[in-house]
Chains A and B, each alone.
Chain A
Amino acid sequence: MLSLSFLNPTYLAALGLGALPILIHLIRRRRVRIIPWAAWDFLNRSHRVHRKRLRIEQLLLLLLRIIIICLVVLAFCRPVFRMRGMAMTAPDARVHALIVLDNSYSMGYRVGNGTTFDRARQAARSLFRQVLKEGDTVQVVLASARPEALIREPTYNLQQAASAVASAPLGDRATDYGATAAFCLRLLQQVRNPVREVYWFTDSQRSGFEPRRRSDDSVWAALAHAARITWVDVGEAGRSNISVENPVLSRDLVLRSVPVRISATVHNYAPTARPGSLVHLEIDGRRVASARIDIPAHGSAPVHFVYMFDTAGMHTGHISLDQHDALPRDDGTWFAVNVRPRISVLLVDGYPNPDPARDEAFYLATALTPTGPSMGASAGITLAIHAGPGLGRTNLTGYDVVIVAGLETLSAGDARLLATFARQGGGLLLFPGRNGSQGSGTAALQSLGVLPARVGPRRTLPADAGVSLDAASMTGSALEAFRDTSQIDIGSGHFTGYNELAPASAPDVRVDARLSDGHPALVERRIGSGRVMVTAFSAGTYQSDLPYKPAYVPLVHQVTSYLAAGRSEPRLLQVDDPIVAHFGVAEAGAGFVVTKPNGSLLHVRGELGVQGVTVPFPGTRSAGIYWVGTTAHPHSQAFAVNLPQGEGDPAVVADTAIKRLLGSSGQIVHGGQSLAAAVHQARSGSEVWRGLAIAALPLLFLEGLLARRMGRRG
């Protein structure tokens, strides 16, 4: 919206001259001569013919003369148009400028010899040369999902501010315009100078406005009210990008010599498809596999690798495109994995039976250690079996997973022990027995909030109306691998009876699998850092033929390794996610260091607790592999910090949407425009007297023509 003001407003009074033609007309009308006329008929007829046209022409002439006079008078008044709501900035007024540099990683898009961010810095520096002057104050903000101030306190030192802008770093964060606007508003509220200007240098990325928060509109409105915003779009038109995102390992707990599927998603933010794109997998800095994938236009494609770690311990990986594009930063994604040599499992056999065919634990033990307990190490699982109801005096320390066959055999004391075990990161797999809904242990686990679902009575089905596991219902990470039934048909086993499960109504409860009749088959709950699962079906052959099916062994292994992962720290993080590394009590006295992706070391302090030493590190500003360790062994634990998803999408938001946010005083300046000229115009408005004078000329000419036509000059 524009508003109008005048540099010579006193001349506005002369607009009254616009009434001059009317006055002259009226005076002439009063002084007009009366001529007696004999040849009346001819006069009257000629008048009648032209009466209408004459009247229109007279009115037009009158109007033209009024307009011409008004235009000339207005030109003398020197009108100035400027953005509504903003006072004009006098040339000598002191201005406070808040410079906002978008340093999200998408600003690293290559343009010519530099990047979009280089452009932004260059444009920002031109402010210091051409716009800002001595006496002005400056603040500098880096805009991203976590905006931060490069210069928080308004400074008069323009040279220092210019240097800060010149050396501003490009970040790995996502864009979040709303968060940055709120941050800027807080900074500006501390500025006393009423003449405030915000210069926002960005690539106008659409993802920066998503997700839209309810408070955003009011923040933008307040910011636009507090300062005149100049949005400088330094982005390149028609950008395209391919990004590799979201690395996923098929197992939460990766075991040595056990194959693991490593996947990632490759996004194509371009209007053309990329068939046969080559993607590489690197493990510990060594390329170990490659794959070709077809990426559709404006779409994505998964890439999968199967890899088997032959050594236990920390490993890092990188999935990357073979060829870099204009935004190379997101052409790859990192992951880190702690490969365990084995899992320790305690199997509690609630109903030991000399007949193995009737012993549920027999099938579980066989599945977990297919070659017998002595050979269990080759499957990565060390199995111990406790036969008899309850835990007895079994020490749970050192076990990763406890599997209970016959839930109802547990005592209340067992339940408390298991609850503690789970809260400390252990995994619990609970199979209800024939009376699974009963027993003090079941009730205790229920009351302790450990059971993911209330175990209901047994439901027996006719032999010919059995149910099976529904592969389609397996959406959780625990059983997701079984959704694809082409290799393993998880639905091949049939149940003629099962316990009805009523999942607890808590946010951490999830149904991982359902039976073909829709009833929950496997319900999971996270408790502390551990995981608890309860099943509706028996682990053995009671009302089930699942143990006879090929899917049984992988199911038991998958669930066990999933439950065992509770003891592992999350190692796939995003920028700004905190790292929390755990060390044993033995490391209590040691000094700890964090090695950043760029190789720099940072000393950090560990916190001693019951479980050992916890080393937190919140400063994951950059994507890449972070190592945490003691000063003696700095590369003990690895964490992969990845770029925020969606930031690779180069789509830009429309100017109209931006303008709406900037308010009436705001303006958008694009790359090709002169920033200094735009600022000057915004500050002082546009003088239009030349336009008015030029407009008066053709009108004058038209008046001459019309007057001549009407014979006034003849």
Chain B
Amino acid sequence: MLAPAPSEPHPKLADPQTLARIARLELRARVVVEGIISGMHRSPHHGYSVEFAQHRQYTRGDEIRHIDWKVYGRTDRYHVKQFEEETNLKAYLVVDASTSMKYQSGALSKSDYAAIVAAALSSLLIQQRDAVGLALFTDAVQVYIPPGSTPSHMRLLLDHLERPPVAPKTGVSHAFHDLAERVRRRGLIIVLSDLFDDPKAVLNGLQHFRHRKHEVIVFHVLDRDELTFPFRDAAVFEGMEGEGLLPAEPNALRKEYLRLFEEYLATLRRGCREMAIDYVPMPTDQPVADALAHYLHQRLRTR
């Protein structure tokens, strides 16, 4: 389970401009993770992994190396140590790989940003011996990697995050339903997407995860332009998922656009709250480490 102590992340290394100058996703993720870790009060390297639970009397078949010789010296009986496995969490990173995620007004596109966040979370989770899986989706699940916790698994995740299969999406919910059917064992679903779909359908897909007893976190990755619609002059807008061209006067449309967008966000927020899903807005101009650390801090405080 993620359990970092609340702290201020490293401001310089984790901002999007800095990350944009780093080519490899692995390094980007490390920067973010270091940024998070540098602010924690205790190290995730201590107190985790395997913890002692109790002694029991040796029986045939037990491993000789598990015999506690100190107890034998005091009691002259064979006892073996029993350990409790704590890191049995299976996390699934559900990352949007559709073309809409390619929108970029600042240093990072939404897909870059989502990949960094996904990589950082993978790194954190695997360091805690948690298993991490990956699902890349467009209108369906394009790539599915079952959870794993080894360094080589981490490498595999990074490879796929760096080269996602890009395609237009027609429906997020379809991918969610598909994934919910695949992941049988209860786990943590971390969604990284702009969720540009009918909000009811999106919530319906998320509901499916909750129905399977998964814990769900939604990182809603949005570009600042999409939140503010800052355009002034007349322009022709081209749909990134093949919708076509639309000549428009942005100033004339802004008010209505923002109203619709806010309505959409409010629907998502309300739906997530009702389903006990953590909804985390992630504008791409926000430092990644900040966003993650802030969320983790919030999460620790509330749980």
A12, chain B: closest CB distance, angstroms: 32
- Give the interface segment out of A32-40, A517-525, A649-657: A32-40
Q: Count chain B CB atoms within 10 A of each CB in A33, A38, A41, A45 and give the residue with the most.
A: A38
Flag if B252 contacts A38 (CB, 8 Å).
no
Q: Report if B100 contacts A (CB, 8 A).
A: yes
Contact of B236 among A35, A38, A39 (CB under 8 A): A35
Instruction: Please report which residues of chain A, range 1-53, place their CB below 8 angstroms from some CB of chain B when the two chains form the complex.
Output: 28-29, 32-47, 49-50
Residue of A nearest to B110 (CB): A38
- Known contacts A40-B240, A42-B264; decide if A34 and B235 are in contact (CB<8 Å): yes
The contact string, 1 if C-beta is below 8 Å from chain B, for chain A 49-65, is: 11000100110000000
Flag if A46 contacts B251 (CB, 8 Å).
no
Which A-B residue pairs are the 9 nearest by beta carbons?
Answer: A711-B251, A46-B256, A38-B100, A38-B103, A40-B239, A37-B237, A46-B257, A42-B260, A40-B243
B95, chain A: closest CB distance, angstroms: 16
Contact of B252 among A36, A42, A45, A50 (CB under 8 A): A50
A714, chain B: closest CB distance, angstroms: 5
- Known contacts A46-B253, A710-B252; decide if A39 and B261 are in contact (CB<8 Å): yes
Residue of B nearest to A33 (CB): B235
A396, chain B: closest CB distance, angstroms: 114
Task: Kindly state the separation between the CA atoms of A41 and B164 in the bound complex, as whole angstroms.
Answer: 24
Residues of chain B lying within 8 A (CB to CB) of residue A28:
233-234
Q: Report if B247 contacts A (CB, 8 A).
A: yes
- Known contacts A28-B234, A33-B233, A36-B103; decide if A44 and B243 are in contact (CB<8 Å): yes
Residues of chain B lying within 8 A (CB to CB) of residue A29:
234, 247
Residues of chain A lying within 8 A (CB to CB) of residue B249:
54, 58, 710-711
Main secondary structure of the interface of B (DSSP, over half): mixed
Flag if A34 contacts B257 (CB, 8 Å).
no
Residues of chain A lying within 8 A (CB to CB) of residue B100:
38-40
- If A38-B101, A42-B257 are given as contacts, then 8 extra A-B residue pairs at C-beta distance below 8 Å, sorted by A number, are A32-B234, A33-B235, A35-B236, A38-B99, A39-B226, A43-B237, A54-B249, A58-B249
Flag if B235 contacts A44 (CB, 8 Å).
no
Residues of chain B lying within 8 A (CB to CB) of residue A43:
237, 246, 248, 253, 257
Residues of chain B lying within 8 A (CB to CB) of residue A41:
196
- Known contacts A38-B223, A39-B196; decide if A49 and B256 are in contact (CB<8 Å): yes
Q: Report if A213 contacts B (CB, 8 A).
A: no
Residues of chain B lying within 8 A (CB to CB) of residue A37:
103, 237-240, 246
Q: Report if A393 contacts B (CB, 8 A).
A: no
Task: Kindly state the separation between the CA atoms of A28 and B233 in the bound complex, as whole angstroms.
Answer: 9
Residues of chain B lying within 8 A (CB to CB) of residue A45:
256, 260
Flag if A712 contacts B103 (CB, 8 Å).
no
Residues of chain A lying within 8 A (CB to CB) of residue B237:
34-37, 40, 43
- Known contacts A711-B254, A712-B251; decide if A34 and B238 are in contact (CB<8 Å): yes
Number of interface residues of A (CB under 8 A): 27
Residues of chain B lying within 8 A (CB to CB) of residue A58:
249
Contact of A711 among B240, B252, B260 (CB under 8 A): B252
Flag if A38 contacts B238 (CB, 8 Å).
no
Contact of A35 among B235, B254, B257 (CB under 8 A): B235
How many cross-chain pairs have Cβ atoms below 8 Å apart between A and B?
99
Instruction: Please report which residues of chain B, range 272-303, place their CB below 8 angstroms from some CB of chain A when the two chains form the complex.
Output: none
Task: Kindly state the separation between the CA atoms of A33 and B250 in the bound complex, as whole angstroms.
Answer: 12
Residue of A nearest to B262 (CB): A42
Flag if B196 contacts A38 (CB, 8 Å).
yes
Residues of chain B lying within 8 A (CB to CB) of residue A35:
231, 235-238
Binding site for A on B (CB under 8 A): 99-103, 110, 194, 196, 223, 226, 231-241, 243, 245-254, 256-257, 259-261, 264
Residues of chain A lying within 8 A (CB to CB) of residue B253:
43, 46-47, 50
B44, chain A: closest CB distance, angstroms: 36
Flag if B236 contacts A33 (CB, 8 Å).
yes
Flag if A710 contacts B251 (CB, 8 Å).
yes
Task: Kindly state the separation between the CA atoms of A37 and B244 in the bound complex, as whole angstroms.
Answer: 10
Flag if B241 contacts A50 (CB, 8 Å).
no
Task: Kindly state the separation between the CA atoms of A714 and B264 in the bound complex, as whole angstroms.
Answer: 26
Residues of chain B lying within 8 A (CB to CB) of residue A34:
235-238, 245
9 chain-A/chain-B pairs, Cβ below 8 angstroms = A32-B234, A33-B235, A34-B235, A34-B236, A36-B238, A40-B241, A42-B264, A43-B248, A47-B253
Task: Kindly state the separation between the CA atoms of A38 and B241 in the bound complex, as whole angstroms.
Answer: 7
Residues of chain A lying within 8 A (CB to CB) of residue B250:
711
Task: Kindly state the separation between the CA atoms of A711 and B231 in the bound complex, as whole angstroms.
Answer: 11
Contact of A47 among B226, B233, B240, B246 (CB under 8 A): B246
B40, chain A: closest CB distance, angstroms: 35
B138, chain A: closest CB distance, angstroms: 13
Flag if A47 contacts B243 (CB, 8 Å).
no
B222, chain A: closest CB distance, angstroms: 8
Task: Kindly state the separation between the CA atoms of A602 and B260 in the bound complex, as whole angstroms.
Answer: 108
Task: Kindly state the separation between the CA atoms of A33 and B253 in the bound complex, as whole angstroms.
Answer: 16
- Known contacts A33-B235, A45-B260; decide if A38 and B247 are in contact (CB<8 Å): no
Residues of chain A lying within 8 A (CB to CB) of residue B103:
36-38
Flag if B261 contacts A42 (CB, 8 Å).
yes
Flag if B226 contacts A44 (CB, 8 Å).
no
Residues of chain B lying within 8 A (CB to CB) of residue A32:
233-236, 247
Residues of chain B lying within 8 A (CB to CB) of residue A714:
232, 251
Residue of B nearest to A46 (CB): B256
Residues of chain A lying within 8 A (CB to CB) of residue B99:
38
Residues of chain B lying within 8 A (CB to CB) of residue A39:
100, 194, 196, 226, 261
Task: Kindly state the separation between the CA atoms of A59 and B107 in the bound complex, as whole angstroms.
Answer: 39
B189, chain A: closest CB distance, angstroms: 23
Residues of chain A lying within 8 A (CB to CB) of residue B102:
38
Task: Kindly state the separation between the CA atoms of A192 and B28 in the bound complex, as whole angstroms.
Answer: 103
Task: Kindly state the separation between the CA atoms of A29 and B233 in the bound complex, as whole angstroms.
Answer: 11
Task: Kindly state the separation between the CA atoms of A38 and B103 in the bound complex, as whole angstroms.
Answer: 6
Task: Kindly state the separation between the CA atoms of A40 and B194 in the bound complex, as whole angstroms.
Answer: 12
Task: Kindly state the separation between the CA atoms of A714 and B235 in the bound complex, as whole angstroms.
Answer: 16
